[in-house]
Structure 1
Amino acid sequence: MFDADEDAVVKLTVLTCEEGQMTGSGFLVEPDVVVTAAHVVAGAGAISVQTPGDDVVTAVVLGTDPSTDTALVRLETPVDVTPLELAEEVPSRGSELAVLGYPLGAYTVRIARGVVAGLPMPVDYGDQQVARAFTTDAATNAGNSGGPVVDERGMVIGLLSGGREWADAEQTRPVEGTNYVIPIPDVRSGVEQWSNLEGTDNAGCGKDPDPEAPDLEPSHPADEPVAATIANMLNAHGEAINRGDYESAFAMFTPRAQESLGGLRAWGDALDQSYWTEVEVLEAVETDVGATARVALQTEDLTDNGERCTAFVLNYTFVLSDSGLLIDKAKAASRSNC
């Protein structure tokens, strides 16, 4: 089942103004249509999607329904994988299942096994209420949200929504063995409602898309999941820069890096009328705290004398956080005209 399904499970890197960077999971139901959780793409300014085949593709939202925590996004370029099939109904309690996704910043698809543990019920997350979700004891973590929950045949029986927390006198902790899954009839309803839509530009930080912004073309070495993950997050970072969502893009730096850059306003002012056109991860290495990478970047700047193209080679250092990789250092190794 895992071998048959994993190629259709994707990782989303999402930038929003309120939450900064967020990573989640999703799954393909058509070569260019991904199902994920509504809370993963809520307020999205830039969405970049990474497949297990290491494709990195920009995406836009087609529709969302917070009451079922379901969303659909369309990839700008279709990918050559077999989409997952949706089951007709949820199996009975005690039936085995598996959750597929990218928890805790994983570079490759992870699998967690469990059972259908409880019947559908309303769920109140505090800032979001879901009409109904069944429970599973499968172990999930941050990053699993939006991933498919499948039966032994590999058919999708639901979408992983989230877990619950409880607070004692000292700290807040996740409730173990109780995670919530949106049942497949609710997921199917969203797919049928939105799949024929064209989609619109993502919300961003209240800014309209810049008509002068070029399309970003990310690339990376083949068969290197760490490099693909870095290409994925830099694609989202560059897309936010290109549309002037400097607040979203700035959230992808660590606090130490943000301080060294002089703060959001100074960093954003320096980027005005500057666009990313190409980003290529030349090599990447996983470290104990994150990753390092050597990246070729091309930018296009609009000046009083016209357009100027600049080519950089940058040495990046990334730190892994709850929201994915964050940029801790970006040092230029070379700079030249294109």
Structure 2
Amino acid sequence: MKKPQTSARSKRASTGTGLPNFVALVQRYKKAVMGIEVVQTMPVRGLGSRPLLPWDRSQPRSGRPAMNIGTGFVFHPKGYILTNEHVVSDGDRIMLRVFGKKDPVEAQVVGRNRTHDIAVLRADIPVPSPILRIGQSKDVRVGEWVLAIGSPLGLDNTVTVGIVSAKNRPLQIGDRDYPNLIQTDAAINRGNSGGPLINLRGEVVGMNTAVSQSSQGIGFAISADILKKEVDQILKHVT
């Protein structure tokens, strides 16, 4: 009996050689992403047990300061850095761990929108080239590849990959309402908050914000259209 012929396409699919290569994207944009450490000297209340958490903090003991961690990325030609407002809220000092720099650099909040969980920072650092550009939500397709770059557990420049699992997810987390979240199965962990979710064209389609603590492969990102709209409003008031 004659053996059935196997097409080149099916061979690629079976061997995995047809999968996207993310190396070029990571190399191109890794300098635009940085880890964030926020020190808070005032005690914070415990978050309790929640099925969805946008962040986590170390709780102060014996008067020691609390530490919050997250991620930010340069999105503007003037070097402005985007992150989640919950990452930097109530912080006394905001320190950036910049790619290629040995010592952390202090940053300042130049504007924030608590409702949409967005903050813009500025720091005395060279503007990387290229920066990360915010795309458009209408171009996001369920099932397309995306990658997340961030600092989960403080491990800078960690890359995870997945797909867009769903769009337009409205969720309430704590006392914040998040409309039109992008759901992804790219691994999102504590410290990824504020980091970019990037498509294969190198566009930021979302900002990683929350993860389900009771399951795996369910993370959420603020959509690009909301980021664009709210960031434009913030920058109008920045001198």
TM-score where L is the length of structure 2: 0.73
Find the counterpart in structure 1 of residue 223 from structure 2: 183
Task: Write the distance in 2 (CA, Å) between the matches of 1:116 and 1:18.
Answer: 37
Asked whether 1:6 is paired with 2:30, we answer: yes
Q: Contact 1:2–1:154 at 8 Å: present in 2 too?
A: no
Shift in Å, 1:11: 0.8
Find the counterpart in structure 2 of residue 248 from structure 1: none
Partner of residue 23 from structure 1, selected from 66, 69, 84? 69
Partner of residue 67 from structure 1, selected from 96, 99, 115? 115
Task: Write the distance in 2 (CA, Å) between the matches of 1:21 and 1:67.
Answer: 23
Find the counterpart in structure 2 of residue 265 from structure 1: none
Shift in Å, 1:198: 4.3
Shift in Å, 1:24: 0.3
Shift in Å, 1:109: 0.1
Q: Which amino acid aligns with 1:34?
A: I
Q: Contact 2:152–2:188 at 8 Å: present in 1 too?
A: yes
Shift in alpha-carbon separation, 1:187–1:109, aligned structure 2, 3 A:
same
Find the counterpart in structure 2 of residue 129 from structure 1: 177
Q: Which amino acid aligns with 1:125?
A: I
Shift in alpha-carbon separation, 1:190–1:53, aligned structure 2, 3 A:
farther
Shift in Å, 1:177: 1.2
Q: What secondary structure does 1:177 align onto?
A: coil
Q: Determine which structure has more spread, i.e. the larger CA radius of gyration.
A: 1
Per-residue CA deviation, residues 61-111 of structure 1 (Å, 9 max, x unaligned), is 122223322111111x132412211112251100110011011121x3011
Per-residue CA deviation, residues 203-245 of structure 1 (Å, 9 max, x unaligned), is xxxxxxxxxxxxxxxxxxxxxxxxxxxxxxxxxxxxxxxxxxx
Q: Contact 1:125–1:164 at 8 Å: present in 2 too?
A: no
Task: Write the distance in 2 (CA, Å) between the matches of 1:180 and 1:68.
Answer: 14
Task: Write the distance in 1 (CA, Å) between the matches of 2:79 and 2:27.
Answer: 21
Q: Contact 2:167–2:180 at 8 Å: present in 1 too?
A: no
Q: Contact 1:33–1:195 at 8 Å: present in 2 too?
A: no
Task: Write the distance in 1 (CA, Å) between the matches of 2:215 and 2:173.
Answer: 13
Identity across matched positions, percent: 26
Q: Which amino acid aligns with 1:25?
A: T
Asked whether 1:103 is paired with 2:103, we answer: no
Q: What secondary structure does 2:183 align onto?
A: strand
Partner of residue 79 from structure 2, selected from 32, 36, 40? 32
Shift in Å, 1:196: 4.9
Find the counterpart in structure 1 of residue 60 from structure 2: none
Q: Contact 1:23–1:143 at 8 Å: present in 2 too?
A: yes
Shift in Å, 1:53: 2.1
Find the counterpart in structure 1 of residue 50 from structure 2: none
Find the counterpart in structure 2 of residue 138 from structure 1: 186
Task: Write the distance in 2 (CA, Å) between the matches of 1:100 and 1:85.
Answer: 14
Shift in Å, 1:28: 0.4
* CA RMSD, Structure 1 to Structure 2 (Å): 1.8
Q: Which amino acid aligns with 2:72?
A: G
Partner of residue 113 from structure 1, selected from 161, 168, 177? 161
Q: Contact 1:72–1:190 at 8 Å: present in 2 too?
A: no
Shift in Å, 1:197: 4.0
Shift in Å, 1:42: 1.2
Q: What secondary structure does 1:10 align onto?
A: strand
How many residue pairs end up in the alignment? 189
TM-score where L is the length of structure 1: 0.53
Q: What secondary structure does 1:44 align onto?
A: coil
Runs of 4+ in 1 over 6 A off after TM superposition: none
Asked whether 1:163 is paired with 2:195, we answer: no
Task: Write the distance in 1 (CA, Å) between the matches of 2:154 and 2:236.
Answer: 31
